[in-house]
Amino acid sequence: MTQPHDRIPATTPTEALAAPQASQTRVAVVGGSLTGATCALLLLRAGFPVTVYEAAPAAAPRGGGLIGLEHPALDVLDRLGIGQQEILAHPSETVREVTLRDRQPIHTARHQYPGRNTTWSLLHHALTRRLPDGVLRPGHRVTGLTAHGGRPHLLFANHRHAAADLVVFADGRTSTGRRLLDPARRLRYAGYVAHRGHTDHASPHLRDFLRLEPGPGCQYNVAPIPGGLDWTLYLTCAAADYTHYFGAPPHRRTFALPRHVSDTARALVDAHAALVLPAAHAATVHATTVRMAAPVMDIDAPTRMAWPIGAGWAALIGDALAPVRPHTGRGANNGIEQAAALTVALTQHHRWGADLATALDGWQRRQLPAAVTAVRQGPLLGAHLGTGS
């Protein structure tokens, strides 16, 4: 006869799966651009209390051009309820690469991109309009990070402060978080500039992403966007010349808004377009009234993504962790994928009591290789194009 102490207690399926939950983790996301907004939405859907702190005032102008999103990033957006019809201008997956000589095409290669193209504006609007009221706090520029009462404490330029259990810095190429957590890694100018523009002169025949290569030191990309075209012209530029064209050195002005683009810079781009591009594409550039520019920057590859702050943590994701050259096509993709993986790690901690330090260590071990690869790939692509110093 079985004795009572030998019996295995009967359990229901629910009881068998039940696990002690960790205490709720409060998250502060620094940066309200694409990666920060994606991270906030993912964490909110997973049940975490989240606040997003954005340095720019609500009315500050924003800028951004064409963005390629690969299938893993598109799947994350699907899970957030952002369908491709909301963010795509055209559904083409085709990239056409055209070699030019004397402004005429001499060879065309086609390949399929494993994803879709959107624009910064379309995607940012789709993300931020889904944030609940009160989650996004504009006008909060972070100036410091301390441990107070065992928790990370953010300090702001407006003399306010905020506590969290985890601070996620998604504050872009000039990240304050990177300066605070990983100060030895600083941006370096790569010696060339992405001159950019949007025009409402749409081409009825252009449905694909088109890359023109006139020769060493220059590349021109153009693609359809809602109501027009988005183009980028990469040109070699000395640091002193960048300062002359855009009013500040490249490490200080890492994105030149339309008001920063001088007449001299505009004339330079128009002259190069007329010199190296087919007439129709040169006309597209010349007709563009609103111009922007971004110096191409490099940085040392990251070796970690998370740091203990008191009894809490701080992390870097996206461009805050590792800005990459635009040719890699990995900037937004890295940020979105890192945010999704971070949400998984935090969910395991909260739902099943997984050790948070171990979960974050596993997260960074899985995500770092892709970031490191993209950082190292950029200079190789630039050398192939003959751009920069």
CATH of the domain at 203: 3.30.9.60
**Which is nearest to 155 in space by CA: 166, 147, 143?**
143
Say whether pTM exceeds 0.85. Answer: yes
48 and 170 both lie in a single domain: yes
Q: Is residue 308 a contact partner of residue 300, using CB atoms and an 8 Å limit?
A: no
Distance CA 84, CA 71 (A): 11
303 and 289 both lie in a single domain: no
The parent domain of residue 259 ranges over: 188-298
3-class secondary structure, 355: coil
User: Which residue in the block uniquely carries the two structure tokens 């905020």?
Assistant: 162
Among candidate residues 270, 298, 326, the one where a domain is terminated: 298
Mean pLDDT by 10 residues, the chain (389 residues): 34 37 81 97 97 86 80 97 90 94 95 94 95 96 95 95 97 97 97 93 84 92 90 96 98 95 97 96 94 96 98 98 94 97 97 95 98 95 82
Among candidate residues 298, 323, 342, the one where a domain is terminated: 298
Query: 252 φ, ψ to 5°?
Result: -95, -40
pLDDT of residue 19: 41
pLDDT of residue 346: 97
Among candidate residues 298, 325, 354, the one where a domain is terminated: 298
Q: Is residue 307 a contact partner of residue 179, using CB atoms and an 8 Å limit?
A: no
**DSSP label at 353?**
-
286 and 312 both lie in a single domain: no
42 and 159 both lie in a single domain: yes
Q: Is residue 376 a contact partner of residue 55, using CB atoms and an 8 Å limit?
A: no
73 and 149 both lie in a single domain: yes
Structural domains in the chain (count): 2
3-class secondary structure, 262: coil
pLDDT of residue 226: 84
CB under 8 Å to 307, separation ≥6 — which residues?
Answer: 181, 313, 314, 315
Distance CA 349, CA 306 (A): 15
Q: Which amino acid is at 84?
A: Q
Alpha helices, DSSP H, located in the chain = 13-17, 34-45, 71-79, 84-87, 120-128, 176-181, 239-246, 263-276, 279-286, 331-352, 356-385
Residue 370 burial class via C-beta count within 10 angstroms: exposed 0-12, middle 13-18, buried 19 and up: middle
- Name the pairing type of β-strands 228-236 and 218-225: antiparallel
254 and 340 both lie in a single domain: no
155 and 172 both lie in a single domain: yes
User: Which residue in the block uniquely carries the two structure tokens 């790939």?
Assistant: 377
Q: Which amino acid is at 207?
A: R
Residue 341 lies in a domain: yes
pLDDT of residue 61: 56
Could you read off the pLDDT of 241-290 as tens digits, one per residue? Answer: 999 999 999 999 999 999 999 999 999 999 999 999 999 999 999 999 99
pLDDT of residue 100: 94
Residue 7 lies in a domain: no
147 and 175 both lie in a single domain: yes
Q: Which amino acid is at 192?
A: Y
Distance CA 273, CA 279 (A): 9
243 and 367 both lie in a single domain: no
Query: 299 φ, ψ to 5°?
Result: -155, 155
pLDDT of residue 91: 87
The conformational region for residue 303 under phi > 0 = left, psi -120 to 50 = alpha, else beta, is alpha
> What are the tokens at 41?
């939405």
Q: Which amino acid is at 307?
A: W
Residue 61 burial class via C-beta count within 10 angstroms: exposed 0-12, middle 13-18, buried 19 and up: exposed
